[in-house]
Amino acid sequence: MGDSEMPNMFDYLEWRGDIKLWQSGFNNVDALIMTELAYINHDGIVPENFEDGLVTLADEARRYNVLHRGEKLTLGAIVPVELIDLFFAAAATERFSGIGICGYVNLVDDSTVEQFSAMTVKLSDGTVFISFRGTDDSIAGWKENFQMSFKSPVPAQIRAAEYLNRAADYFRTVPIRVGGHSKGGNLALWAAANCRRDVADRILDVYNMDGPGFLKNYHESAGYTTIKSRIKTIVPEKSVVGMLLDHEGDYLTVKSSEHGIFQHNALSWQIVGRDFVFLDDMSADTKRVNKLLSDWIACMDDDFREKFTDAFFGVLYATKSTTLSDLMDDKPALLRAFSSADSDTRQALSEGFRMLLGESGKSIGDWLKLHRTDSV
């Protein structure tokens, strides 16, 4: 069996989809599936208000088919479209068909630079899982990601804590799990650390699936200290996103069938039985080069990071695009926007790229060499 055929979440659903949660308890793979379902477009099916009730996953799958009949299904330029197949596969299992989804929020705001999406899942074991979406196709979401390197909190982090409090109030005394993949993992950590204390006391686990870290000293906050023993951070063997910014605590390393940065795609994470295929640690080379990348980011002060971010995304917005898919469909517009940028924007971009290719060139070159797609 080649790496591309290694067991993943689809195989897990085939192997264990007929086993209900009361027969075999909630596990790490179940948590990953919950975080991946957050990438699905639940608009028009799952209500935003908790008071409007639950929609079972099986019912949502049926309604999704009707609502999107005849459409070319996509989740944008970044999120793998195969997650839609995962959604349908999970909905067809005894383990997940009856879970109830509610409180779906999906917000993208270019004016406030915010991308936030979350949903709440009522599980058959008497708990709820609060799932935060990672970065989607929106330019606003990517700019907000860049802002996380110099600004804390960003709008999505504030909204995540508010959402967790609201979900907890609706479900009252129900035990809570929180999680997310990529940026969603960061939001899960932030929400758990900044929710009300009575809510934090009900949290069983916080799942951070290859999510980026925070600015320095955040891990010393009282809220983070309160929940850190319940955090489960899981990263692939050549994690990039999950090693960005400042981290604290242990992590579990999972084997991936992909190479380099493409290991961020959780569909490549390998599974055996009811858990992942774990490795002792990331390789020494991966840790060394990721440290070089982090050091390169750290050498830029906050003012420069903000200046570069505003300049770079100012050019992207000048194309009139709002998503990465838009940009890919109109590459000439991107070239025109760069060529017509004002002198201050050009200077900020030039300085940023000079730092990338200049003094830090060897570090970035090493990183690219280690994470190129044909590496092993």
DSSP assignment of 122-148, as one string?
E-TTS-EEEEE----SBHHHHHHHHHT
Task: Please list the alpha-helical segments (H only) found in 274-341.
Answer: 284-298, 302-318, 324-329, 331-339
Query: pLDDT for 53-111, tens place per residue?
Result: 999 999 999 999 999 998 888 898 889 999 999 999 999 999 999 999 999 999 999 99
Q: Which CATH class is domain 3-282?
A: alpha beta
Copy the structure tokens of residue 229.
Answer: 């023993």
Task: Identify the CA nearest to 97 among candidates 56, 130, 42, 39.
Answer: 56
Query: pLDDT for 106-157, tens place per residue?
Result: 999 999 999 999 999 999 999 999 999 999 989 999 999 989 988 989 999 9
Give 239 or 274, the one with higher predicted confidence.
274
Please report where in the chains the tokens 């569909």 appear, as a residue: 267
Copy the structure tokens of residue 20.
Answer: 């209900």
Q: Which part of the chain has CATH 3.40.50?
A: 3-282
Query: pLDDT for 211-227, tens place per residue?
Result: 988 888 788 889 999 99
Helices (H) and strands (E) in the chain, counts: 15, 11
